[in-house]
Amino acid sequence: MRNLTLVSLAFLLTASFGAAAQNPHLSYRAQDPFLFCRDGQDPKKEPLPCWRPTPPYVGTFMLMPYCQPIMQYGKRWTNDDRRSLAEYVQVCPVAEQSGQWQGDGRPESTPFDH
């Protein structure tokens, strides 16, 4: 059953990635690719995402252990989890390497909270 769930998740993610490839649009973090690629979804809106970016922030990510299918009775993936991951693997590899924040203040607060 667990293998079937992993296959189902892989299918859903692949289908989501295909949809993102047809419409490459960043829907998260006020369309700020630096912040989105470094931090993923906004923790104020989604405190327990089912994936998180990993360095060097150019498409690598980690599935969170409190979500299905890793934890059988864990949090189910939301539409935002699926869509944001699809956008992450579509948008962030374009950078080829990640850079450092060089602005004033924190990146999630500049020029406004996002």
pLDDT digits (tens, 9 = 90+) for 69-107: 999 899 999 999 999 999 999 988 886 666 665 667 665
Residue 41 has a pLDDT of 93
Q: Are 51 and 78 in contact (CB under 8 A)?
A: no
What pTM did the predictor assign? Answer: 0.67
Q: Where are the alpha helices (DSSP H) in the chain?
A: 2-22, 33-39, 79-91
pLDDT tens, position by position, 8-60: 444 444 444 444 444 457 899 888 888 898 999 999 999 999 999 998 888 89
**Can you give the residue ranges of every domain in the chain?**
2-98
Q: CB neighbours (10 Å) of residue 47?
A: 8
